[in-house]
Copies of this chain bind each other. A is one copy, B any other.
Amino acid sequence: MPRVWNFSAGPSMLPESVMRQAQSEFVDFEGEGMGIVEMSHRGATFTRVAQEAEGLLREIMGIPDNYRVLFEQGGGRGQFAAVPLNLLPEGGRADYFITGHWSRSAFKECAERYGEAVAHECTRKDAQGRVEVDYGAMQVSEGAAYAYCCLNETVNGVEMFSLPDTGAVPLIADISSDVLTRPMDVTRFGALIFGAQKNVAPAGLTITVVRDDLIGRARRYCPSVLDWAVLAKHGSMYNTPNTFAWYMAGLAFKWIRSIGGTEELARRNQEKAELLYGAIDGNPFYRTQVAEGSRSRVNCVFNLRDEALNADFLKEALAEGLSGLKGHKVLGGMRASIYNAMPIEGVRALVDFLGRYAGKHA
């Protein structure tokens, strides 16, 4: 079957050229007579692949020399523990700016297992009852060890387009779903964490970009595999890393550089988002509950006015090669994730379907 348009929120579609390259060299990488998954992570070949991937990420993301890049495992969820384990002293306090499901999950992990976490509710309803980010609520508590936010909430379809001023308090951000979707000033953050399975690579790789001075503060009982100082000291090879995802991340970074980097991706993602939200706003058959200024460019959460049609809508969409449109169980409805690897053609196909489906059922 031809490739479908895969709107899954993660794991997600990867660039087709990246997928085909990984396939072609899967059993015999660079003529070595074995696949990349079969190679020692300490051998010369994988060491080069790993270092190239880090170098490419530093280049396309603009990561300064005083930040370390750590290739880890355990997903965003693992980092929800790693952040307080590495940064929150016993008896300390951390601020969580809550804009949706994932920032709330990070808050809970800290509050239930590590100490005092202050939840700041940072969304509100606008005049039409739609969700919008409340940047004014992003205030730092006295003595906070860090402030935490999630720049793009995949479940809620809410994205932050400004950053709070946290002064000397390090700002830690989960950027799993918007990493590399636009230029980002890394120096505004103490640490950035992201699971790879949306914009970068297969699942099972988590990358932490952390400022040097924040490394080396972990609690005694922090597992070594989540201790940033241990990982930094061993070049992310304290334990055997997810070599395949690391390699594929490198392919994705190379692809990003080849098409013009994050500036070009920002342009493409903006164009895709405008096309899709335009189709939803312009058709009374659909609605979205997120206010204009807070809409995620990469996770478009929307509903059919007649929710009884949900199952039929998904079935018809799939029949046309539009896959993964079912919303997250927390919110229901629909969600179209249109990350970096989704071409405009896929969004056009979805928009076309939205129009025809509405026409048939209106």
Q: What is the CB-to-nearest-CB distance from A281 to chain B, in angstroms, rounded to a whole number?
A: 27
Task: Look across to chain B and name the residue whose beta carbon is closest to the beta carbon of A248.
Answer: B37
Cβ of A265 within 8 Å of any chain B Cβ, yes or no, is no
Quick one: given A113-B222, A195-B240, A243-B202, are A34 and B10 in contact (CB under 8 Å)? Answer: no
**Number of chain A residues close to chain B: CB under 8 A:** 71
Interface residues of A in 84-107 (CB under 8 A from B): 85
Q: Which residues of B contact A81 (CB under 8 A)?
A: 223-225
Cβ of A6 within 8 Å of any chain B Cβ, yes or no, is yes
The distance in angstroms between the C-alpha atoms of A239 and B22, with both chains bound, is 25
The distance in angstroms between the C-alpha atoms of A89 and B330, with both chains bound, is 35
Q: Which residues of B contact A37 (CB under 8 A)?
A: 11, 14, 202-203, 248
Q: What is the CB-to-nearest-CB distance from A218 to chain B, in angstroms, rounded to a whole number?
A: 10
Q: Which residues of B contact A33 (CB under 8 A)?
A: 1-4, 6, 321, 323
> Is A203 a contact of B41 with CB atoms below 8 Å?
yes
Using an 8 Å CB-CB cutoff, how does the interface string of A35-60 with B read, 1 for contact, 0 for none?
Answer: 10111110100000000000000000
Task: Look across to chain B and name the residue whose beta carbon is closest to the beta carbon of A28.
Answer: B1
Q: What is the CB-to-nearest-CB distance from A277 to chain B, in angstroms, rounded to a whole number?
A: 23
The distance in angstroms between the C-alpha atoms of A37 and B196, with both chains bound, is 11
> Is B204 a contact of A9 with CB atoms below 8 Å?
no
Please tell me which one of the listed residues B78, B223, B239, B243 contacts residue A85 in the complex, with CB atoms under 8 A apart.
B223
Q: Which residues of B contact A240 (CB under 8 A)?
A: 10-11, 75, 195, 197, 203-204
Cβ of A360 within 8 Å of any chain B Cβ, yes or no, is no
> Is B77 a contact of A220 with CB atoms below 8 Å?
no
> Is B23 a contact of A224 with CB atoms below 8 Å?
no
Q: What is the CB-to-nearest-CB distance from A250 to chain B, in angstroms, rounded to a whole number?
A: 15
> Is A34 a contact of B20 with CB atoms below 8 Å?
no
Quick one: given A239-B76, A239-B78, A240-B75, are A13 and B38 in contact (CB under 8 Å)? Answer: yes
Please tell me which one of the listed residues B20, B34, B223 contacts residue A82 in the complex, with CB atoms under 8 A apart.
B223
Task: Look across to chain B and name the residue whose beta carbon is closest to the beta carbon of A337.
Answer: B40
Cβ of A183 within 8 Å of any chain B Cβ, yes or no, is no
Q: Which residues of B contact A205 (CB under 8 A)?
A: 204
Please tell me which one of the listed residues B2, B40, B109 contacts residue A11 in the complex, with CB atoms under 8 A apart.
B40
Cβ of A118 within 8 Å of any chain B Cβ, yes or no, is no
> Is A34 a contact of B22 with CB atoms below 8 Å?
no
Q: Which residues of B contact A82 (CB under 8 A)?
A: 223
Interface residues of A in 201-251 (CB under 8 A from B): 202-205, 219-226, 238-245, 248
> Is B114 a contact of A225 with CB atoms below 8 Å?
no
The distance in angstroms between the C-alpha atoms of A10 and B37, with both chains bound, is 10
Q: Which residues of B contact A239 (CB under 8 A)?
A: 74-78
Cβ of A152 within 8 Å of any chain B Cβ, yes or no, is no
> Is A203 a contact of B242 with CB atoms below 8 Å?
yes
Q: Which residues of B contact A75 (CB under 8 A)?
A: 73, 225, 239-240
Q: Which residues of B contact A19 (CB under 8 A)?
A: 26-27, 35, 38
Q: Which residues of B contact A248 (CB under 8 A)?
A: 37
Cβ of A12 within 8 Å of any chain B Cβ, yes or no, is yes
* Chain A residues proximal to chain B, CB less than 8 Å: 1-4, 6, 8-14, 16, 19-20, 22-23, 26-28, 31-35, 37-41, 43, 73-78, 80-82, 85, 109, 112-114, 195, 197, 202-205, 219-226, 238-245, 248, 321, 323-324
The 6 closest A-B pairs by CB, nearest first: A204-B242, A81-B223, A4-B33, A77-B239, A75-B239, A37-B202
